[in-house]
Chain A
Amino acid sequence: MTDTTRPPASGWADEANRSNIGLKRRHARSRRLQGFGIGAIALAILMLGTLLWTMVSTGYSAFVQTHLSVEVTLSPEEIDAQSPGDANYRDIMQRAWLSSFDNVTEENEGDLLSMLSRGAELQLRNLVIDDPSLIGQTIQMEVPAADDLDQVEKGFVSRATPEEYRIVNDRQIEIFYELKQDGRVSTPFNTALFTEADSRFPELAGLKGALIGSFFALLVCFVLSFPIGIAAAIYLEEFAPKNRWTDLIEVNINNLAAVPSIVFGLLGLAVFIGFLGFPRSIPLVGGMVLALMTLPTIIISTRAALKAVPPSVREAALGVGASKLQTVLHHVLPLALPGIMTGTIIGMAQALGETAPLLLIGMNAFITAAPDSMMSPSTALPTQIYIWADSPERGFTARTSAAIMVLLGFMIIMNGIAIYLRKRLETRW
């Protein structure tokens, strides 16, 4: 090749051929940045995985509950068909249980009885009240075992542990294994976890009260914060003059979003309970406190969504003689809706997981009945987790993790809805 066929020396190819130190450094730098990014994401995934793993591995066992089968004779002498609620079900259940063993003595009677959960007699009572025609029959029942036996069944307590370190004694474990051999032990799905409210006994404790309490609180939170938040955002974004006052308001809203949630709890305690005299522990107050907390989130995300609507749409509407309100309601708001929805649902998911403000207004009380209205005391999911995490019984350890899994499940569902809505509404045009 001769010189005439070569491109001029100043061409780009030439520069690339020259070993350009600066260029190399630039490439190395961008590769390094990429490496850091990937590293950070990997770390995050690792931590998330660890979190989920510990949660699932400790919590999964709470989704089943050990049951013992027992044959109960419901004699009409003991249960009055007219008022089946008045019978002494504890006595009936205990005798039915003991009668299934041949060698009951004074000294092992206590061991045998403490194998049954207190829930057994309640279950029997409910069964008879629901269906009084059972009186006079002999029925086979699956009743929950006491938590200590449940732990044996799940392998958390074993005979290898010295007897003084466990509540169940060797004899009870012996009997339990005999029962198991006879096929009288079963481990069905723990429906009580969802159909019962809190209880002192882990085997009877459930999330029903917390779920309903959280539902009511979120409902109140939504009903208050959604319309108020959107109205405030529309006013600030579309109508308010831009002056020092509105700047001040804006700064304050942004600050409010960053205020620790416990402060909102204190505010709620002082204003709603102290000043306005609402009762403690009720979902209504919980919802109002959560609404205070969620408002800034909704206002900020709504304003961002409104800001993102192209000004050409506003101009178009104003240009054909729409008033400002018409412009906003007919054109701007529909376009901002996906963003508003996403922001709101994320705010709601945050509110669902918020614990501190609810502790302050007493939604961490021990309440064994699910609330039947917004005015009856209740717990919420996160406070229920808090209560259970604080309980010494072994059975609550797994239930705490199970409750966290339920809470996470709801959050995933809510965030999923947010993503779905965003996709749905956005692709409309």
Chain B
Amino acid sequence: MANFHTDALANSGNGTAHAKQEGAKSANTRGVAKIKAESVNVFYGENQAIKNVSVDIDERQVTAFIGPSGCGKSTFLRCINRMNDVIESCRIEGRILIDDNDIYAKGVDPVILRSHIGMVFQKPNPFPKSIYENVAYGPKIHGRTRNKSELDSVVEQSLRRAGLWDEVKDRLAQPGTGLSGGQQQRLCIARAIAVDPEVILMDEPCSALDPIATARVEELIDELRQNFTIVIVTHSMQQAARVSQKTAFFHLGHLVEEGPTDRIFTNPEDKRTQDYITGRFG
């Protein structure tokens, strides 16, 4: 299993490969929890944004977080790769286990953790560098490749998997910020998968995209599901229904309901969930 402790850095490559093998075995068995959150509370100063949330996120599945604006979806998502650490006022209680290792335990290096848990942000945010550099940056700083040709192939593979290769292969040296919004978002996805993470967190990845680009990204998410565990925050019920296998509904910091996407959308247990997905509030 992957290990995020600093001293395990040398083994982390092996750990990943190991996790992959095991994953392949259980690819068809549903409900192997990759991420387990146990009674997570998150505070911004005095203000509590996440209230006692416990949830399991399955391996090689797409889990959608839905809920009205400000209910804490992003906050919870950012807990999973410890991005909230950089927010000074933010305090987290409870445990989040990935492969049964507590990522908030002492000695866990968030930098190493984040190289295993990729993230795609709501607004496309490519580095103001070349397309090539954007994708190569992660593998480079983690020393994942030994030479230029290996790096080249990682870049190509990642761009191919993100469905961007054909559009950019002739202009890898041009700035990533010069791409269209949808291309930029796929570039960010390529950047995230270039470090070969186990989990990809996506915070409203399609909110800035047109329907065609959105469809492209959704297709991509479906493909990536073969290899990665994906968590996606979305405001679009249709999108959640289309891409996810599991859905979790958040409301005012509470996890109201979670379960298989089909069931949540056809037969929600909680009144609030029903109101939300039928568009009565939110």
Indicate whether B88 reaches chain A with its CB closer than 8 angstroms: yes
Q: A320 is contacted by which of B86, B137, B178 (Cβ under 8 Å)?
A: B137
Which of B20-28, B31-39, B117-125, B247-255 participates in binding chain A? B117-125
| Interchain CB contact under 8 A, A320 and B112 | no
| Interchain CB contact under 8 A, B125 and A313 | yes
Closest to B201 in A: A319
Smallest beta-carbon distance B127→chain A, Å = 6
Q: A331 is contacted by which of B116, B121, B127, B175 (Cβ under 8 Å)?
A: B127
Chain A residues in 8 Å Cβ range of B86? 314, 318
| Interchain CB contact under 8 A, A322 and B111 | yes
| Interchain CB contact under 8 A, A321 and B88 | no
Chain A residues in 8 Å Cβ range of B126? 316
Q: B115 is contacted by which of A242, A316, A320, A428 (Cβ under 8 Å)?
A: A320
| Interchain CB contact under 8 A, A317 and B88 | no
| Interchain CB contact under 8 A, A321 and B127 | no
| Interchain CB contact under 8 A, B127 and A316 | yes
Range of interface residues on B (Cβ < 8 Å) = 20 to 34
Indicate whether B138 reaches chain A with its CB closer than 8 angstroms: yes
Known contacts A316-B127, A330-B137: A321-B188 contact under CB 8 Å: no
Q: A319 is contacted by which of B88, B112, B119, B128 (Cβ under 8 Å)?
A: B119
Known contacts A241-B88, A315-B83, A326-B141: A320-B118 contact under CB 8 Å: yes
Most chain-A CB neighbours within 10 Å: which of B83, B137, B138? B137
Chain A residues in 8 Å Cβ range of B192? 319-320
Indicate whether B114 reaches chain A with its CB closer than 8 angstroms: yes
Indicate whether B160 reaches chain A with its CB closer than 8 angstroms: no
Query: In the complex, A316→B191 CA distance in Å?
Result: 9
Indicate whether A359 reaches chain B with its CB closer than 8 angstroms: no
| Interchain CB contact under 8 A, A320 and B125 | no
Chain B interface SS verdict (over half): helix
Chain B residues in 8 Å Cβ range of A241? 88
Chain B residues in 8 Å Cβ range of A330? 137, 141
Range of interface residues on A (Cβ < 8 Å) = 20 to 34
| Interchain CB contact under 8 A, B188 and A316 | yes
Smallest beta-carbon distance B214→chain A, Å = 20
Chain B residues in 8 Å Cβ range of A322? 111, 137, 141
Indicate whether B177 reaches chain A with its CB closer than 8 angstroms: yes
Indicate whether A204 reaches chain B with its CB closer than 8 angstroms: no
Chain B residues in 8 Å Cβ range of A5? none
Q: Which of B117-147 contact A (CB under 8 A)?
A: 118-119, 121, 123, 125-129, 137-138, 141-142
A-B CB contacts (within 8 Å), total count: 68
Smallest beta-carbon distance B242→chain A, Å = 25
Query: In the complex, A318→B109 CA distance in Å?
Result: 12
Q: Which of B89-117 contact A (CB under 8 A)?
A: 111-116
| Interchain CB contact under 8 A, B83 and A321 | no
Q: Which of B59-106 contact A (CB under 8 A)?
A: 81, 83, 86, 88
Most chain-A CB neighbours within 10 Å: which of B125, B177, B195? B125
Known contacts A313-B125, A319-B121, A321-B142: A429-B177 contact under CB 8 Å: yes
Chain B residues in 8 Å Cβ range of A323? 111
Known contacts A241-B88, A335-B128, A429-B128: A319-B175 contact under CB 8 Å: no
Known contacts A241-B88, A242-B88: A319-B127 contact under CB 8 Å: no
Smallest beta-carbon distance B12→chain A, Å = 11
Closest to B188 in A: A316
Q: Per-residue 0/1 for A332-346: is the Cβ within 8 Å of any B Cβ (1 yes, 0 no)?
A: 001100000000000
Chain A residues in 8 Å Cβ range of B123? 312
| Interchain CB contact under 8 A, B114 and A316 | no
| Interchain CB contact under 8 A, B115 and A321 | yes
Chain B residues in 8 Å Cβ range of A335? 128
Smallest beta-carbon distance A332→chain B, Å = 11
Known contacts A313-B125, A429-B128: A319-B141 contact under CB 8 Å: no
| Interchain CB contact under 8 A, B128 and A318 | no
Query: Which B residues form the contact surface with A (CB < 8 A)?
Result: 81, 83, 86, 88, 111-116, 118-119, 121, 123, 125-129, 137-138, 141-142, 175, 177-178, 188, 191-192, 194-195
Query: Which A residues form the contact surface with B (CB < 8 A)?
Result: 241-242, 310, 312-323, 326, 330-331, 334-335, 428-429
